[in-house]
Amino acid sequence: MGNRTATMRAVRLHAFGGPDVLVHEEVPRPSPAPGEVLVRVHAAGINPPDLYARTGFTRIPAELRPAWTPPLVLGSDVSGVVAELGEGVTDWQPGDEVFGLIRFPGQGSGYAEYVTAPADHLAAKPASLDHTEAAAVPMAGLTAYQFLIGGRAPLPGGTALVNGAAGGVGHFAVQLARIAGAERVIGVASGRHEAFLRGLGVDRFVDYTRTPAAEAVPDAADLLVDTVGGPDAHRLLPAVRRGGLVLPVYLGDYHRERAAGLGVTIPERMQQVRSSGADLTELAALLDSGRVRVHLDGVHPLAEAAAAHRRAELGHLQGKLVLRVHP
Ligand SMILES: NC(=O)c1ccc[n+]([C@@H]2O[C@H](COP(=O)([O-])OP(=O)(O)OC[C@H]3O[C@@H](n4cnc5c(N)ncnc54)[C@H](OP(=O)(O)O)[C@@H]3O)[C@@H](O)[C@H]2O)c1
C-alpha cells in the first residue's frame, strides 16, 4: 500500500543542541509495520522529554541516557486521523480521529505530517476537543492518570498536594486527584497561576515564590505529587503528614533517611508513564464528560518548532504547548 518514495514535512534534528537544531524539512514518509497505524498528524504536543532528547539527554544521569542517534524526528504526543492500516490491525479504520502517547518510553516521531503508531497506543480522540487540545493530553494526562487512578495513592478523604500544579502534568494532577477521591487539593505554583488553578478546583493555593510550601501548609498532605523534583525536593517533606506518600514525577533529592524519620514513604523507583490506548480511552471519557479539562499555554505552527522549544525553555508554563501540523 505505502509508496516508498513518498515524503512529508517534518521537524528533524541532525545534531543535538539548542532549539535552532530543529529544522523543518522534507523527510521520507513512514509506512505502518504489522500491528501499526499510519496517522496523519493534525497536532503534536511538546513535552519536557522532547527537550531532553534535543540536547542529547545531558540532564539525565549517564546510566539512564537513551542511545538515540541523529537524524531524529522528536515528539511522542499526537492527535490526527488514521490514514493507513498495517497488517493485522482491526481496531481502527482509515478516517478515525485518534490521539496517543506513541512508543513511550522510547522514541516517538510526532513532529511530522505522518507518524506510525502501534495500534494499541492510540485512543479515539475526545469528540469535545479539537486536535490541538487533544494533542496536549497524552503524556501529561496519562502521567497524572497512571499515578493517581488505580495506583497506590491513598487518597479517599485525604489531602493531595501537587507541586508544579499549573504545568502540563500538574494541571491534570490537581483534577485527577479530586476524581481519585481527595477531599482537599493544594496546588503549589508561582503567583500568576492562582486564578487558573482555583478554576480547576484547587482548594488552597500556595505561591512558592512568596512562601515555601512546607511553611504554608505544614503536615497537610496525605499525598504529594511532585512534578518539580531537583536538588531541593526534600524541602517539601514537612508539608507531608506522618504516614503520607510522595510520588516523584521527576528525579529529585528527597533525603530519604529524613523522610523515613518523618514517617513519609517514597517509592524506591520513580514511576514512569507508559503508552496505553486503554488508559487514554478512560481519560478521554473524563475529558468528554467535562470532569477533566486541558489547558493550552500556546500553539505554534510545526515550522516554528524551534520557537516553541524556546518558549518551553523559559519555563513557568500554564498547561501545554502544542504544534499545529495540519491547519
Ligand atoms: N515520571 C514520568 O513518567 C514523567 C512523565 C511526564 C513528565 N515527567 C517530568 O515531570 C516534570 C514536569 O513535566 P511537565 O510536562 O508538567 O512540565 P511543565 O509543563 O514545564 O510544568 C512544570 C511546572 O512547574 C512549575 N514550577 C517550576 N519551578 C517550580 C518550583 N520550584 N515549585 C513549584 N512549581 C514550579 C512551572 O511553573 P511556575 O514556576 O510558574 O509555577 C510549570 O508550570 C518534567 O521534569 C518531566 O520530565 C515525568
Mean of pLDDT values over 200-205: 98
47 vs 11: CA distance, rounded Å: 15
Residues 40 and 59 in one domain: yes
Which residue's CA is the nearest one to ligand 1's atom 21? 167
Confidence bin at 157 (pLDDT 50/70/90): confident
Host domain of residue 229: 142-261
In a domain, 128, yes or no: yes
The predicted structure's pLDDT at residue 150? 66
223 vs 185: CA distance, rounded Å: 10
The predicted structure's pLDDT at residue 320? 98
Decide whether any atom of ligand 1 lies within 6 Å of the 167 Cβ.
Answer: yes
The predicted structure's pLDDT at residue 105? 94
Could you tell me the three cell numbers for 45?
504536543
Residues 101 and 45 in one domain: yes
Confidence bin at 152 (pLDDT 50/70/90): low
Decide whether any atom of ligand 1 lies within 6 Å of the 162 Cβ.
Answer: no
The predicted structure's pLDDT at residue 61? 82
In a domain, 23, yes or no: yes
The Cα-based distances of 12 to 100, 113, 123, 268 in angstroms read 20, 12, 26, 36
Q: Report pLDDT digits (tens) over 173-202.
A: 999 999 999 999 999 999 999 999 999 999
pLDDT of 144 over the 90 cut? yes
DSSP string, 9-64: EEEEESS--SGGG-EEEEEEPP-PPTTEEEEEEEEEEE-HHHHHHHTTSTTS-GGG
Residues 132 and 250 in one domain: no
Bond from prior residue into 70 cis (ω within 30 degrees of 0) = no
The predicted structure's pLDDT at residue 102? 98
Taking phi over 0 as left and psi of -120 to 50 as alpha, with beta for the rest, 213 belongs to alpha
Count of alpha carbons within 13 Å of 160, Cβ hemisphere only? 32
| Number of domains present in the structure of the chain | 2
Decide whether any atom of ligand 1 lies within 6 Å of the 152 Cβ.
Answer: no
In a domain, 267, yes or no: no
Residues 81 and 102 in one domain: yes
pLDDT of 2 over the 60 cut? no
Measure 25 CA to ligand 1 centroid, in angstroms.
Answer: 30
Confidence bin at 63 (pLDDT 50/70/90): confident
Is 122 strand, coil or helix?
strand
Mean of pLDDT values over 322-327: 94
In a domain, 273, yes or no: no
CATH number for the domain harbouring residue 32: 3.90.180.10
Say if CB 40 and CB 80 are below 8 A apart. Answer: yes
Is 176 strand, coil or helix?
helix
Measure 35 CA to ligand 1 centroid, in angstroms.
Answer: 34
94 vs 102: CA distance, rounded Å: 18
Decide whether any atom of ligand 1 lies within 6 Å of the 270 Cβ.
Answer: yes
Mean of pLDDT values over 270-295: 97
Burial class from Cβ neighbours inside 10 Å (0-12, 13-18, 19+) for residue 209 reads exposed
pLDDT of 59 over the 90 cut? no
Identify which of 101, 148, 169 to mutate to test ligand 1's pocket (most ligand atoms within 8 A of the CB).
169
In a domain, 133, yes or no: yes
Decide whether any atom of ligand 1 lies within 6 Å of the 239 Cβ.
Answer: no
Residues 184 and 207 in one domain: yes
Burial class from Cβ neighbours inside 10 Å (0-12, 13-18, 19+) for residue 103 reads middle
The predicted structure's pLDDT at residue 64? 81
Cβ neighbours around 229 below 10 Å, total: 18
| DSSP secondary structure letter of residue 230 | B
Q: Report pLDDT digits (tens) over 231-272.
A: 999 999 999 999 999 999 999 999 999 999 999 999 999 999
Measure 138 CA to ligand 1 centroid, in angstroms.
Answer: 15
Q: Of 67-71, 117-121, 130-134, 303-307, which gets the smallest average pLDDT?
A: 67-71
Select from 261, 281, 304 the last residue of a domain. 261
pTM: 0.97
pLDDT of 309 over the 80 cut? yes
Confidence bin at 151 (pLDDT 50/70/90): low
In a domain, 59, yes or no: yes
Cβ neighbours around 255 below 10 Å, total: 15
The predicted structure's pLDDT at residue 65? 87
